[in-house]
Each structure stands twice: as C-alpha cells, then as structure tokens.
Structure 1
Amino acid sequence: MQVLKFGGTSVASAENIRKSLAIVAKAAEQGPVVMVVSALGGTTDGVIGAGRAAEQANEDFREALQQLEERHVTAAHDLLGADAQHSAIAHVQAQFDELKQLCDGIFALGELSNRTLDRLMSYGELLSSQLIATAAQAYGLDAVWADARQLIRTNSRFGMAEVDMGTTEKQVAEFRGNQSANVWVVPGFIAADAHGAATTLGRGGSDYTAALLAAALGAEKLEIWTDVSGMMTADPRLVRGARPIARISYQEAMELSHFGAKVLYPPTIQPVMRRGIPLWIKNTFAPDDYGTLVEVAPPRTPAVVQGISSIGNLTLLNLEGSGMVGIPGFSKRLFEALARERINVILITQSSSEHSICVGVNAQDAGLAKIAVDEEFAVEIAAGRIEPLRPEADLAIVALVGENMKDHPGISGKLFGALGQNGVNIRAIAQGASEKNISTVIRAADVRKAINVLHEAFFEATKKQVNLFILGPGNVGSKLLEQLARQQPHLLEKMGLQVRVVAIANSRHCLVDENGLDLTAWPDELAAAPAQSLDDFTQLIIGRNLRNSIFVDVTANPAAAGIYAALLEKSVAIVACNKVAASSEYAHYARLKSLSKEFNASYLFETNVGAALPVIGTLNDLTRSGDVVRRMEAVLSGTLNFVFNHYDGTRPFAEVVRQAQAEGYTEPDPRLDLSGTDVARKILILAREAGQAMEMSDIEINGFLPPACLEGDVEAFYAQMAAHEAHFRALYDEAAAGGKRLKFVARYADGRASVGLQTVAPGHDLYDLRGKDNVVLFYTDRYVDQPLVVKGAGAGAEVTASGVFADIIRAARL
C-alpha cells in the first residue's frame, strides 16, 4: 500500500488534477494507492471568509460562495466528459446549497462557533475529493471515494482536534477489509468525533491525514506531492541559491518543519516516524525530480548543516528579577500560567544566574500571556522581587538544523560571526543537548539578510555576494563602474566574490535594482531614474538591509561624509574616496573608527592619500606590527606635482593648471589643490593614522598663491592666476637658477605637520618625481637612515578608481 498526498496547488485546476491522476495511475501499477487530496487551492480561505462575513451580517458571503461554486463547476466541465459531468455538477451544486444554508444560519445567529467553522471548512476537501474520485473513475482507474470522517476518529476539540489512533486504526482496517478498489481517494484535513460531528486537524492537516492513514495501513511509503522539488536548504522565496535536500533524517525534518519549512506540516512526520515508513516529498509539476527522502537513517553526508529555517511573528517574554535567584518553582509557575491560557511556547532560554527566564511565543498570544503571567506573579511584582513581564515584539527565530553539527566544533562560532559581520543582533539563543538545532532570535526585519548570510556561509563557501551602493558616478565613479563591469567574471571565478552594484546615485537621480544593475547601460538609465535626496539614499541602503553591503562614496561632498556614522551603525561598510570625514574634527574621525570596530563594518579610505598607492595600508602595517613613525616627508598632490613638472615659463601658469584639470588630476574645485588645503588634509589623515590626535588647525599651511587668487569663483581664480603670471614665473626662475625644482611638500615630525612649496636640489628623494607621481617617505624606529618609500602615480580618474576598487575588495573579503 502506498499513500500519496496532493496539496492545494496540485489540485488547483483541471490541468493540475490530470497531472496528479497521472502520477497516481503510474503508482497504482505497483500496487494499491491511497490518494489524499486537499481542497482546490484557495477554497478553504474562501469558505472561511464567507463564514466570517456572514457572522458580521455582511451579505457579500453570497457572492463569495457563488464564485467558489462557479470555480468547481468549471473544474468539473474541464475535467470530465459529458457522461460524468451531469452527476458531478449536480453534486457540486447540492454541496453548495448546503454551504449556503449553513452560512444563512450563521448570518441569522450572528455567531460562528468553532464547531460550525469546522463543518464549514470541511466542504473544501469534500468537494475536491469527490470530484477527483469521479475523474479517476472516468480515466479508467479502479477508484473509490473514502470519507475521512469515517476513517479518522478525533476528540471534540474543534479547530485542531486530537486523533484517537486506536479507533482510527480499527476504522481504517474495517474499510480496507470491505474494499477491493485499487485506488482510494480520501479528503485530507477532516475527520469526525465520536458523535459524527466534522472536525479538522489544523491548517496543513491534509499532510497529517496522509501520515495517519500510512501508519494505520502499514504503508510501504508516504509521498507528499507539492509544488517544489523537496525540502530545501532554505526558503527559496528568500534565498535564490537554495537547493533541494536529497535525503534527510526524521529528526532533521521535524526540526526544519517546525521552524517554518512550508512543504511539510510538523505533526505529519510523527505517525510515519514511529512506524519507520519512508516519506518522500515530490513535485507534481516535475515528477521526475528526485525530491527529498525522509528516512530513519539516511546515508552519512559531509554536510554539517542540512538546512536553515525560520519562524516569524514571534514575541519574547522576559521574566526578570533578583527574587527569582535560588527559589525553586518560578519556571513551573510561568509555564503553568501560559498553559492555562493554551499559549504554546516556541523557545526557552534562561541565564545561569537564574535572574531571568525568556520564552518565545506567537505574537498574537503576547497580550494574553502578559496578563496571565502578571496575575500569576502579582504578589512578587508588588513586592518588587520581580519585574512585570516584558514582551519584546517584531522578532523571529532563525535556526540551523543538522545531525552532523554535534560532531563539528565551531558551528555556533561561524553562525554568530557571520551574523555579527552583517549587523544582525542576536536577542536570544537556544540549543538542545542533541545539537541538532541552534536557534537564534533576531529582529523580524533581519530575517532575509540573516538566512542569506548563513546560507552563504554554510552552503556556498565558494561564493560571497557583495552589494554595492555607489554615490558619485563622475570621472572617478564612471571609471570605477567600467572596472567593475570588466572584472565581475574574474572576481566570481577566481575570488568567489559575486560583486553586484545595487544602486548608483548622483546629486539628482538614483538608479536601483536589488538583483544588480546592468553596468553597460547605467548612464542612460540613471538619467531617466527618479529623483532622490541623500537622506532618501541613506534610507534606501538601510531599508534594503542586504548582506555584505558596501557604501562607496566617490564624491567630495561634505553631506555625503555626514551619513557614514548612520551606515556604520547598521554594519554597512564604507569605502570613501571623499576626504572630508577622515579630515574632519578629530572626535568625529575617532567616532567613525570606533563605530567600524563596534559594528564589524570596514571603514576604508586608502584613496584619500595618494590615489591607488598603498600609503595608508603601508602605514597601518607599520603601526600594527609595533613600529613607530617618527617622521614623514611627502609629495601628496598629483595635481601640484603635474603642474610644477610642466610649468617652465613658456606657457602661462594658469594654462598648465587648466590642463591638469582637463586631464582629471585636480579636485572638482582646483583651488583645493593649489591652496594647499587638499595636501593639508592628506598629511592630517596620515598623522592621525600614525596615532596623533591632530586637528586641521594644527597643520601649518605655507601657500604660494597670491590672496586675490582665492577670491570669487573658479573662473575668477583662473583670471587672477593669469593676472599674477609674473609671480609664478619668479618662483620658477628662482628655483631654476639654483638648479633646483619646485615641489609642494608635506612634512610631519614629532607631532607637528606643515605643507608648503619648496625648492628641491638634485639628489634629494623628491627631486626626480615626475608627472603626477606622489611619494611618501616613512622614517620609523625600523627605518631610521633609509626611509621606507612608497612612490607612484597619485592622481587621475583611472588610477583613483582602481584604488577605490581595491578597497572594495578588501572590505568584501573581511
């Protein structure tokens, strides 16, 4: 004997019913089959809605029932030939006449009791099973309809009746002895009490019906036919990379089904588990797929974790107080108070200090639970020995499940580390002694991120998804996007990084695609994208709550730097080309560094100094390894080095500066470069990274521009430089006369820093610096006489973009 159960989607239409019957016909070639069916998809919700409407004196219930009747009549037309249609449709209409009479009674009384609701809900499965039984006969199967109300006996707890297994087994045996048909078609979900009143087995009860019959019949196997190819490693609606689990133990399946695996109703497993009956989960729409086999002892696999699941709509109840310590009976009284109100406890955890007990319940039970518990402990609360019960809502449980976890140390550490790196805060933890399940309570808003993070950690070890939010697709930003587009396949293949650009924003528009933007078409799409403010963009990043998120700031905008703290507090990594934050007030700089550590979110700004040169990285390596930086000497402006390397008096100084700006070497406002402000920011950042608590006001800036050049707008700046050409020519001539070159130099020594134009003689480390190159000389306790030198191109959109790219990869790999 085989038992095959078909869910609502498997019988939702005539076409689907035919597919289900084809599966049954094939199984019947191997021996007798019990076909358990659910109501046509959506029918049960429809009749419940009609009943509730009738209870509230809303006559819309008539229209709702009429639509359901038409749907069943249509299914009969589509499913059956002319000979069988007439009687089947007449039966459907008779059933709906009863339904209408029942709802009329509810309407008249204004009351819908649990008993009446059970009877109301039973019609869905009765209608579908009788229709399918008629179709099975019409298709040539030796089929009979079997009324589950005559097979399965329950108590009279309407709504979720408890099964009398002894009586059920006797009734099934009697029916079997009186039948010779090869196929039984049985309605799921419904049963009857000792008085013959219809009862239901709870939502998902059709699975339970199938399991009860399989156990009573001693079936060879139970198959659950649904719309997915087995149990999955995670909910495929939340995790794109979720994959079927081929074989799994009863215990693991129980854990996963309890914690939200929707393909299996939790009590289903118990009857067949006791009998050792194999349970298959199969896909009606892909019957050749292997599915999932649930069995007593599946072959051992290398997989440590079998699946990840979740329960939403959770509230934690915290009972706390010093009066609980060392006093027996508090836990007993808590659970008894909840039990009296029939409140199910989903999760339990208690601190070893005995100062608090925490339990998780369904959110809808939280209000009643608080009343019950506060009443139970009213004396202790009044005396101040314990606090009133404190509910914490909007939570969920995410659970790791696997038999092999008990043999592998470090699973919990990997779990907590993966969640922590993505800013998912754990409110409570529970783990059974069997170590088959590790449950964590988190914010409901973090469930999607948490499950994806854990799936990536335990099932996709070779691939890590990284989500980028890029602000500022200007010269550097557009080059960065070109580089990302070019390198995406390489990063995935060689480094296991799936780097996706989720959003691109400028000062006017924001282009978003959570699945990753097309990096070849973004300019036109961005121009047509909706307008969005910086605050909106910040909320977009936080609200999307994607795993491994990185905000990439490729602007010089002070307002953009102002959102770093809010993002770091949400564990969003920051990669900043923008120098404003790192050179702002020291307290703010220090806070950002602290937030980066506190929330496990990288804050990287290598391109703040020297574009793609590893200046900050080298400095960090020195200090982390215990070296002390005593002195730094540097040319930190690719712009100024370019200008002074190209200015020889044959062309106006202003023209050379314009060339530098045209070639993308300057800041958007070139006055930042030529005034020395940009270089001052850079040496300030290096001094801070070397351990000095310095402010911008501590930097001595020895400028070379006439004051008039810094007045007005950028065009006035160029006009004034042209007017003061003699000043610039004099600077050049004086240096050239002594065989020297002009360099704008930054110096740091003994806690003091300065920047200014200097003449450099041949043989000096800075003399031969060409083009747009930068150089930094580190004099440390280890590099005393000969400095550690970092030298190379320090300006240009392509080079700077590559430095931002490198920081992105560093952040992604942490």
Structure 2
Amino acid sequence: MKVLKFGGSSVADAKRIKLVKKIVENNIKDDKQIIVVSAFGGVTDLLLEAAHQASLRDENYTGVMEKIEKRHLETMQELLPIASQSKAISAVKRELNTLETLLEGAFLIGETTPKLLDRILGYGELLSSYIVSEFFTSEGMDCIHKDSRALIKTDENYGKAAVDFKMTNRLCETYFGTVTYKTIVVPGFAASSPEGNSTTLGRGGSDYTAAIMAGAVNASVLEIWTDVSGMYTANPKLVKQAFAIPDISYEEAMELSHFGAKVLYPPTIQPVLSKGIPIHIKNTFQPEEQGTRIRKNTNGSARPVRGISHIDNMALLSLEGSGMVGISGISKRFFEVLSLHNINVALITQASSEHSICIGIAESDMQKAEKAVNEAFEYEIATKKINPVVVEDNLAIIALVGDNMKSHQGLSGKMFSSLGQNNVNIRAIAQGASERNISAVIDRADVKKALNTLHEHFFEEHVKQLNIFVMGAGNVGEKFLNQIRQQKKYLKEKLRLNVRVVALSNSRKMYFDDGGIDLKNWKDFLDKGEPADIDKFFEKVKALNLRNSIFVDNTANAVVAGTYAGYLKNSIAVVTCNKIACSSELEHYSQLKDLSRQYNAPFLFETNVGAGLPVIDTLKNLIASGDRVNKIQAVLSGSLNFVFNNFDDKSSFEGVVKQAQAEGYTEPDPKIDLSGVDVMRKILILARESGHELEIDDIENESFLPQESLDTTTVDDFYASLVKHSSHFENIYAEAAKKGCRLKYVAQFEDGKAKVGLQHIPKDHPFYNLEGKDNIVLFFTERYNEQPLLVKGAGAGADVTASGIFADIIRAGNF
C-alpha cells in the first residue's frame, strides 16, 4: 500500500486537482493507495482570519466566509459533471453551514477557545478531501472518502494534539485492511479525541497525517507531493543555484526540516523512521522530476554537507552573571520557566565557564520570555548575582547539515571564515553532539548573503560568484564591460569565477539588477535607469548585501573617491583607476589601507600607475619579500610620452596635445597631465607603497608649462594659452634636439624625496627609445642594486586601463 499526500498548492484550484488525478491514476496498480489532502491553498489562512474577526465581533468575518464558500463551490462546479453536482454541493453546503454556525458562536461570545479554533480550522481539509474524492469518483475511479477524525485519535491539547498511536494504529489497520476501494481519500491535519472532540495536528499536520497512516499500515512508500522537486541544498527562492538532493537520510531530513526546510513538516519522519518506510518528495507540476528520497543508509555521498537551511525571525536570550558559576540548578530553572510558558528553544549555547547561557527562540516569544525569566530570577537579579536577561531580535539561524560532517575536519572553520570574509557577523554558535549540524545565529538582513556564500563554498565546485558594481561607463568603463562579457565563459571554466555586473552608473543614470545585467544590452538598460546619485548608489549596494561584492570606480571624480571608506567598512572590495584617493592626504590613504585589512575587503588600484602594467603589484611583491627600495626612476605619463614623442619642429604643441586627448591618452582636462599633477600623484603612490610617508606637497614639480597656462580655468582657455606660448614649446624642443637628446617627463624618488619634471634624455639611457604612449619604471633596490628591475609597456589608453581593472577584479576574486 502506498500513501500519497498532496499539499495546498497541489489542490489550490480545479486545474491543479486535475493534475493530481493524473498522478493518482498513474500510481494505481494492484494495491490500494491512501490519498491525504491538504486544504485548498490559502483556505486555512482565511479560516484563521474569519475566526479572528469573529472573536473581535467584527462583522467582516461574514465576508471572509463568503470567500471560502465561493472558492469551494466554484471549484466543484468546474470539476464535477452537472449530474454529480447536486449531491456534492448539498453535502458541502451542510458543512459550510456548520462552519458558519461555529463562527457565529465565536462572534457572540467574543472569543475563540483553542477547542473551537480546532473545529474551525479542520474544515479546510474536510471540505477539500471530500471534493477531491467526489471528483475522482465522477471520473470513474474506484474511490471512497474517509474522515481522518475517525482514524487518528489524540489527546485534547488543542492546536497541536499528541497522537495516541496505539489506538490510531489499531483503527487504521482495521479500516484500511478491510476497505475494498482502491483509492481512499482522507483529510490531513484533522483528528479527534476519544471523546469525539475535533483536534488538529499543528500547521503542516497533513504531512504528519500521511506519515501516521503510512506507519500504521506498513506502507511501501510515503509520497509527499508539493510544488517543488524535493528537498533542496538551500532555499531556491534565496539561492538560485540550489538543486534538489536525490537521496538523504531520515536524520538529515529532520535536521533540515527543523531548520526551516518547509517542504517537510518535522514530525513527519517519526512514524515512518522506525519501520524504514521511505519518503519520496515529488513535484505535482513536474512529476517526471526525480525528487528527493528520504531513507536509511544514504551516507555514500562524497559531500560532507548535504544541505543548508535557516530559520527567520529569531531572537537571542542571554542569561549571565557571576552568581551562575558553579551553582547547580540554574539551567534547570531557566529552561523550566521557558517550558511552563510554552516557549520552544531552537538553539542552546553555554560558556564553559558557566558564566552565561544563550538560547535562540522565536521572535514572537521574545517579550514573554524576557518577562518570565526576569521574574523567575528576581532575587538573583536584585542581589546582583545575575544580570537582567538580555534580548536581541532581528536575527536568524543558519545551519549546515550532513551525516558525514563528523568525519571531515575543518568544516566549521570553512563555514565561519567564508561568512567572515563577507562581513556576516556571527552572534552565537551551536553544534550537536552527533556533529550532524553546525548552527550559527546571524543578523536577519544577512541571511540571503550567508546562504549564497555557504552554498557557493560547499556545493558549487568552488565557482566563486563576484558581484560587480560599476561607477563610470565612459571610454574605460565601456572597454571594461566588453572585456567582462568576452571573458565570462573563460573565467568560469578556467578560473572558477562567475563575474556578474549588478549595477552601472554614469554621470546621468544608474541601473541595478541583482540577477546580473545582460552586458549585450547594457547601454539600453542604463539609458532607462533612474537618475544617477552617488549616495543613493552606495545605499542600494549596501541594501542588496550580496556576497563577494566589488565596487569598481572608472572615473576621475573626487566625490566618488570619497566614498571608498564606506564600501570597505561594509566588506565591499574597491577596485579603482581613480588616483585621487591614493594620492590624497596620507591620513586618508592610510585609513583606506587599514579599513581594507580590518574588514577583509581588497582595496586594489593597480591602474593608478602604468594603466595595465603590473607596476604596483611588482612593487608590493618586492616589499613583501623583504626587499627595500632605494630609488625609483620612471616615465609614468603615457599621455606626456605620447606628446613629446610626436612633437617636433614640424608640428604644433597644441595640435599634438589635442591629438593625445582625442585618442584617449589624457584626462578630460589635459592640464592635469601636462601640469605634472598626474605624474606627481603616481610617484607619490609608488613612494607610499614603498613604505614612505609623503604628502603631495612634498613632491618637487619642475613644470615646463608657462604660468599663464597653469592659471587657466577651462579647457578652451588652456588650449588658447598653448597657442599663445607656442614659441616657448618650440624652444624646449630645439634645446633638446641640439644636445642629441629626447624630451621625457620623468618622475624620481630617492632618499625619501620625490620630484617630477621634463628632462633631456641621452641616447644611452633606457628612457631614450621609449615610444608612443609607453611607460617605464626602474626599481633600484637592495637586491636590484646594479641593474634595476624594469617594468615597461603601454601606460595609457582605455583598453590597457580596462585590462588592468580586469586583472584587479581577478585578484579580488582570488583574495
């Protein structure tokens, strides 16, 4: 004999009930089958609403009752042929009349007792099961309806009655052993006491009904049909990569269901476990899916962790004080008072010093628990032996579950380190003696991030998802996005990095999509976005609270650079080609570096010097290995190198500068490059990364520009000044050419001092043949004291800058 249970979503309307009928027909063989039916989806909530309104003497309860009646009558009219409707509608209306009388009674007395509420709530299953059985019969199936209240007997603990298994098993064995019908439809959830009073088995009790009957008749299998394809590795609504677990043990399933896996009601497993009856969870709407089979001996899985689950809306209750140490009976009194007030404890942790006990309870019980515990320990609190109970809310419990966890070392460390890297603060930890479960209490706002982080770590073959928030979609930004799009497959297959761009912003618009922006059409999405707002952008990034978040700054904007500290404090990595932050006041630069370390958030700015060249990375590796920098000589401006490589006695200086700007080698304001400020920032960054404490004002700038050019306030005025002083630039070129030298704008750092300026470079110097927009850096160190370490290559241009940002993204992903 099989037992099949169909949940509320499976019987929500006539169309879905027809799907149920197909499943039941396909299951019919030579043996009988018991079909346990939940209330139509949402009806139990309507019954609760009607009862509540009636108890408040709110006449609107009649409107809710009308909704309930209409729902059932319309479903019958759609399911049943006209010839079968009269009898069925009469029977249903009789039950609805009784229900209406019960609600009227609650209205008259102004309350609903637990006993009355059980009678009212049971009607959802009673009505749905009757309608389903009538439909089956009208379709020619060998079917009968049986009221589960005649089979399942309980005590009179209304709301969550305890089953009398001895009497229930006897009644079930007798009835199901003698009934001749192939299909027996019974309501879930509803039961009765030996005196005949209606009781219920608690929310989710239809699963329990099915398990009780399966255990009583020694069923070959208990099938739970619902709207998902089994028990998942995590909640698929929160973790898109979650997948159904094919096989799982009874114990693992109980742990997962206890910690919020709502596909299965926790007590369901108990009646079938001792008899070894497998439970098969299947999807009504995709019956061909494998689903999840729950049974004994499934420990063959290579994965130590079988699932990740969580419970929302939790609170922590902490009792502590020096008077607890070594005093017997404190724990007994603590848990006894909670038990007397029907407060369920989901998690317990106690300090080895016996100085404190911390428990996790439902947030709805928080105030009741606080009051009860403070009253129970009133004397100890008054004498300051124990502190008043401390309560924290807005929490959740997350749990790793797996039978094989106990045989794998380091799981706890991996769990907590991966959460810590994503700024998920852990408030309490508990691990069962069986080592089948590791639980942690976290902030409720971090649940989605925590579940995705853990799922990625334990189930996704170490493919790490990076969530990218991009500020700046100009030349560099566009190249960067194109590179991400082109390399997405390679990154996932070869580097195990799944890079998603979640947000984009330019100076006008910003656009967010937490599912990842389609980079084929990113310009269209951005054009349709909301008005750009730097502060609002930051707040939205925080609110999304995604794991492995990286903020990318492709701008040269000082206001954007000023937001880095906020991102780092929220454990959001920062990757930037914007030199302003790292060349700002030493205190601010140092703060950003400290925040990066404190919050475990990478702060990467390789493109600040040399665009895509590994200048900063090389310098960091030298310092980390114990080397010491004595001197740095460098041509650090690709734009200035381009200008002076193309300027000669046949061209105008102003024309070459305009060409450099048009080809993307200069900042939007070319004066930043030509004034030497950009190079000053770069040598300052290299000096600081070498371990020296310098400010921008400490750098000597030997400018080649006339003062009038330096004093201009607009780009047009700057170009006009270049034309006006054209003879000045011609003289500079002529003087170098006369000496057989080339002009290079050189940055130098030595003996703790830095300077920048235009120099005459002779033919035998490494800088002489530096062409186009190339940069070159010479590191003279303790180890490279005779021949310097040389880094050379393209140091300007949108493509190479974008590739440098891309490289920093990969570094952040491997952090």
Shorter-chain TM range is over 0.9
Which residue does 1:727 correspond to in 2?
728
Alignment RMSD (CA, Å): 1.4
SS of residue in 2 equivalent to 1:542: helix
SS of residue in 1 equivalent to 2:274: helix
CA–CA separation in structure 2 for the residues paired with 1:765 and 1:177? 97
Stretch moving more, 538-547 or 605-614: 538-547
SS of residue in 1 equivalent to 2:631: strand
Which residue does 2:651 correspond to in 1?
651
Query: What is the one-letter code of the residue matched to 1:794?
Result: G
CA–CA separation in structure 1 for the residues paired with 2:732 and 2:184? 102
CA–CA separation in structure 1 for the residues paired with 2:92 and 2:532? 55
Deviation at 1:142, TM superposition (A): 2.4
Deviation at 1:273, TM superposition (A): 0.7
CA–CA separation in structure 2 for the residues paired with 1:177 and 1:606? 77
Which residue does 2:673 correspond to in 1?
673
Query: What is the one-letter code of the residue matched to 1:770?
Result: E
CA–CA separation in structure 2 for the residues paired with 1:557 and 1:382? 59
Deviation at 1:724, TM superposition (A): 1.2
Query: What is the one-letter code of the residue matched to 1:792?
Result: G
1:771 corresponds to 2:772: yes
CA–CA separation in structure 1 for the residues paired with 2:527 and 2:38? 51
CA–CA separation in structure 2 for the residues paired with 1:351 and 1:625? 42
Deviation at 1:293, TM superposition (A): 1.0
Which residue does 1:786 correspond to in 2?
787
1:208 corresponds to 2:208: yes
CA–CA separation in structure 2 for the residues paired with 1:327 and 1:788? 68
SS of residue in 1 equivalent to 2:538: helix
**Cα deviations by residue, 1:680-722 (Å, 9 ceiling, x for unpaired):** 1111111111111221122122211111112221111111111
Stretch moving more, 610-619 or 188-197: 188-197
Deviation at 1:178, TM superposition (A): 4.7
Aligned counterparts, 1:468-479, within 5 A: 468-479=468-479
CA–CA separation in structure 2 for the residues paired with 1:116 and 1:598? 58
Query: What is the one-letter code of the residue matched to 2:738?
Result: A
Deviation at 1:734, TM superposition (A): 1.3
Deviation at 1:462, TM superposition (A): 4.7
Which residue does 1:343 correspond to in 2?
343
Which residue does 2:227 correspond to in 1?
227
CA–CA separation in structure 2 for the residues paired with 1:145 and 1:215? 20
Query: What is the one-letter code of the residue matched to 2:672?
Result: L
CA–CA separation in structure 2 for the residues paired with 1:334 and 1:585? 55
CA–CA separation in structure 2 for the residues paired with 1:353 and 1:691? 45
Query: What is the one-letter code of the residue matched to 2:323?
Result: G
Aligned counterparts, 1:170-185, within 5 A: 170-185=170-185
Which residue does 2:249 correspond to in 1?
249
Deviation at 1:121, TM superposition (A): 0.5
Deviation at 1:495, TM superposition (A): 2.0
CA–CA separation in structure 1 for the residues paired with 2:604 and 2:236? 34
**Cα deviations by residue, 1:352-395 (Å, 9 ceiling, x for unpaired):** 22222110000010111111111122222222222211111111
**Cα deviations by residue, 1:23-54 (Å, 9 ceiling, x for unpaired):** 22332314111111101111111111111122
**Cα deviations by residue, 1:374-423 (Å, 9 ceiling, x for unpaired):** 11222222222222111111111111111111111121121112212211
Query: What is the one-letter code of the residue matched to 1:737?
Result: K
SS of residue in 2 equivalent to 1:244: coil
1:38 corresponds to 2:38: yes
Which residue does 1:294 correspond to in 2?
294
SS of residue in 1 equivalent to 2:261: coil
Aligned counterparts, 1:283-432, within 5 A: 283-298=283-298, 300-432=300-432
CA–CA separation in structure 2 for the residues paired with 1:707 and 1:322? 74
Structure 2 unaligned spans of 5+: none
CA–CA separation in structure 1 for the residues paired with 2:622 and 2:324? 53
Which residue does 1:516 correspond to in 2?
516
Which residue does 1:237 correspond to in 2?
237
Which residue does 1:623 correspond to in 2?
623
Deviation at 1:136, TM superposition (A): 2.2
Query: What is the one-letter code of the residue matched to 2:708?
Result: A
SS of residue in 2 equivalent to 1:409: coil
Deviation at 1:800, TM superposition (A): 0.8
SS of residue in 2 equivalent to 1:4: strand
Which residue does 1:802 correspond to in 2?
803
Deviation at 1:177, TM superposition (A): 5.0
1:554 corresponds to 2:554: yes
SS of residue in 2 equivalent to 1:786: coil
Q: TM-score if structure 1 supplies the norm length?
A: 0.98
Query: What is the one-letter code of the residue matched to 1:105?
Result: G
Query: What is the one-letter code of the residue matched to 2:789?
Result: L
CA–CA separation in structure 1 for the residues paired with 2:659 and 2:236? 55
Moved over 6 A (4+): none
Structure 1 unaligned spans of 5+: none
Query: What is the one-letter code of the residue matched to 1:262?
Result: K
Deviation at 1:299, TM superposition (A): 5.4
Query: What is the one-letter code of the residue matched to 2:577?
Result: C
SS of residue in 2 equivalent to 1:427: strand
**Cα deviations by residue, 1:455-494 (Å, 9 ceiling, x for unpaired):** 1111111522211110011111111112122222222232
**Cα deviations by residue, 1:31-90 (Å, 9 ceiling, x for unpaired):** 111111101111111111111122222222212211221221111112122222111111
Query: What is the one-letter code of the residue matched to 1:257?
Result: S
Query: What is the one-letter code of the residue matched to 2:788?
Result: P
Would the alpha carbon gap of residues 149 and 243 (structure 1) be closer, same or farther in structure 2, given more than 3 Å must change? same
Q: How many residues align?
A: 814
Stretch moving more, 20-29 or 287-296: 20-29
Which residue does 2:692 correspond to in 1?
692
Deviation at 1:733, TM superposition (A): 1.4
Query: What is the one-letter code of the residue matched to 1:447?
Result: V
Which residue does 1:756 correspond to in 2?
757
Query: What is the one-letter code of the residue matched to 1:786?
Result: Q
Deviation at 1:502, TM superposition (A): 1.0
CA–CA separation in structure 1 for the residues paired with 2:453 and 2:642? 46
